Amino acid sequence: MADDIRITDLAAPVLTELQQAAIDYGETLEVDLTPQGILADASAATRLDDFGPEDFLPRLGLLCDEWSSDTELTGIARLSLRNKLLQHARSRLLIQDVLKRHPEIHDVQIREPIIVAGLPRSGTTHLLNLMAADSRLRSLPLWESYEPVPMPGETVTRGDTDSRYQRCLEQWQSMQQMTPLLAIMHPMNPDHIHEELELMGPDFASYNYEWLSVSPRWRDQYYASDQTPHYRYMKTVLKILTWQDGDHTGKSTRWVLKCPQHLEQLPVLHQVFPDATIAITHRDPVSVIQSAATMIAYGQRINRKRVDLERVLAYWSDRIAHLLDACVAERGSIPEAQSFDVLFHEFMSDDLGMVKKIYDKAGLPMSAAAEEQLQQFLRDHRRGRHGRIRYDLRTDFGVEPAELRQRFLAYCERFPVRIEVE
């Protein structure tokens, strides 16, 4: 068993030679973080110029302006953010192109998906990846979420021979070198089953951008905007992936998906996926904040010139509160026959048993073959096999857990989570 790991330099990072060299290199770069430059580069790379409806332009412009104005970003962070936006712009062109050439894709069905919603760091990733081991269900590996449609001249193979897989593998290897503890906290290897909100990226939407950089202006416009069109865009990309698999109707494919953002978009989620079964995970919010804030702060040693722990904790405490307040208010919008609440401590004590309960709700029998596939996944993915991060909210952030928990009393009364951080 790997050892426990304690990060003791969150506020004043002690950089490795590789990290310092990357930061120094970033400061030599001139990064064109403008919509015009990004869109031009995307068109040049794909040899396409139709981005589809232009409602995305103000959203792209906001991101570019907010990040360009952030004087605390390192040069390497600016480059990384630009590359992400460029990736999304390329994918938007490719998505628009395949839809124009194959309009029949719009008729593909996304049939009775099983969708996991829940706080980040609350077991959603483990639950998704566990169910994704069931070969009867279609899931979204990270490499495919980043590039749902191949570049011109590339073919769809859905395996490690796919060029998209290889590009994702290079990113994963770089992450392991540059931020090894982040790789332990949140694995991003190509086969890792990822969140479908990545498919909103080509529409320049979702709360995902808040995880990439400090983005309060983006958060505010996200709060003020109806997310239904972006969920429909995401569903269209799922149709493309289903069609690319050779299932041109969708009748042979059942997806398993997950995203924490769904917690604050439950009515929208149900509207766009009316026949979905939704499993909602619940965990001690203080434990979630402790983990999420530590992960964000650790990543900032590369991305920001100064790590402001107070700001990190304040932002993500508010963000988690918004997710949970919305969940409490809107939980009843999902019919009982199509939803299931998953308490984290119960899931951790019997993960396979919890999956069986979700399958019962979704009308999916647990076959002997499926149970063996899930058991094999559990054998291959023992918790803590790469080490465990030991979190300490009180020492690292100077906050008493009981004090922080006060703002989540309504949620804890509604859902009987077990207190993990005393």
* 151-198 per-position pLDDT tens digit: 999 988 878 899 999 999 999 999 999 999 988 888 899 999 999 999
**What pLDDT sits at residue 384?**
66
Distances (CA, A) of 378 to 142, 346, 374: 20, 16, 6
Q: How many beta carbons lie within 10 A of that of residue 305, not counting itself?
A: 13
Q: In terms of residues, how long is the chain?
A: 422
Q: Helix or strand or coil: residue 279? A: strand
**What pLDDT sits at residue 152?**
95
What average pLDDT does the structure give for the chain?
A: 96
- Exposure pattern of 12-44 as b/e (b: 16+ CB <10 Å)? ebeeeeebeebbeebeeeebebebeebbebbbe
Task: Report the predicted TM-score, pTM, of the whole model to 2 decimal places.
Answer: 0.96
Structure tokens at 124: 């959603």
Report yes or no: 58 and 84 within 8 Å, Cβ to Cβ. Answer: no
pLDDT beyond 90 at 3:
no
Architecture label for domain 18-414: 3-Layer(aba) Sandwich (3.40)
pLDDT tens-digit map of 314-338: 999 999 999 999 999 999 999 999 9
> CA-CA distance, 184 to 192, in Å (whole number)?
13
Q: What is the DSSP string of 112-181?
A: S-EEEEE-TTSSHHHHHHHHHTSTTSB--BHHHHH-SSPPTT-----STTSHHHHHHHHHHHHHHHH-HH
H helices within 9-74, ranges in order? 17-26, 35-46, 57-68
pLDDT tens-digit map of 132-159: 999 999 999 999 999 999 999 998 887 8
Distances (CA, A) of 219 to 297, 316, 319, 341: 19, 12, 9, 27
Tell me the domain boundaries of the chain: 18-414
**What pLDDT sits at residue 1?**
39
Q: What is the DSSP string of 288-354?
A: HHHHHHHHHHHHHHHHBSS--HHHHHHHHHHHHHHHHHHHHHHGGGS-GGGEEEEEHHHHHH-HHHH
Give helix 17-26 / helix 285-303 axis angle, nearest 10°.
70
Structure tokens at 398: 């100077």
At 387, is the pLDDT very low, low, confident or very high (cuts 50, 70, 90)? confident
Q: What is the DSSP string of 65-130?
A: HHHHT-TTB-HHHHHHHHHHHHHHHHHHHHHHHHHHH-GGGGG----S-EEEEE-TTSSHHHHHHH
At 113, is the pLDDT very low, low, confident or very high (cuts 50, 70, 90)? very high
**What pLDDT sits at residue 29?**
96
Over residues 69-79, the mean pLDDT reads 98
Percent of the chain with pLDDT over 90: 93
